[in-house]
Amino acid sequence: AADKCFTLWIMSERTFAMIKPDGVKRGLTAEILRRIEHKGYRVVGLKLYQIPREVAENHYGEHSDKPFFGELVDFITSGPVVAIALEGENAIAGWRSMMGATNPANAAPGTIRGDFATSMGENVSHGSDSPESAERELALFFSDSELIK
């Protein structure tokens, strides 16, 4: 009966994910993309990208006054990254939970950092931490024409 019908609206969101240079160099790209696809997120943008220094400084702008800023920018520009635009229900928090804690020493087994990373600086992956960051970072790394509508 019509009164028994209902529509479930699933709030899909987009986030920016990245395999950092250490992850690419160590051959973890396929493993990380495998986890993303098995989880069920849609990949709506994907490229191998050598980040220009200005883009790296902009991306990590919130850390510009931290003592580790210079090293962070050096590291993230030290080789190509895999830039990924992901879409799915709760993708922003969900992808961060798949990555695990920033410090691999605290990252749970089963998470990407927990399974593969050993140092705070070289922690294999990145994920936007809020809807505002996701929008900003997606626009910084991808042009409109590089993202699937």
- Where in the sequence numbering do the catalytic residues fall? 126
The smaller minimum CB distance to ligand UDP, of residues 29 and 102, is found at 102
Instruction: Supply the DSSP string of 75-101, one letter for each residue.
Output: HHTSS-EEEEEEEEETHHHHHHHHH--
User: Can residue 111 be called a binding residue for ligand UDP (CB under 6 A)?
Assistant: no
- Site for ligand UDP contains 68 (CB under 6 A): yes
93 part of the interface to ligand UDP, by CB under 6 A: no
Q: How far is the CB of 34 from ligand UDP (least distance, A)?
A: 21
Structure letter (DSSP) for residue 108: P
Query: The tokens of 11 are what?
Result: 């709030």
Pick from 126, 134, 138, 142: which binds ligand UDP (CB under 6 A)? 126
With 0-12 / 13-18 / 19 or more C-beta atoms within 10 angstroms meaning exposed / middle / buried, residue 141 is buried
Question: E strand or H helix at 48, and its extent?
Answer: strand 42-49
Please give the single-letter amino acid code of residue 55. Answer: V
What is the closest distance, in whole angstroms, from the C-beta atom of residue 110 to ligand UDP in the complex? 17
Place of tokens 């922003």: 92
**102 lines the binding site for ligand UDP (CB under 6 A):** yes
Could you list the residues that contact ligand UDP (CB under 6 A)? 68, 72, 102, 120-121, 123, 126, 129
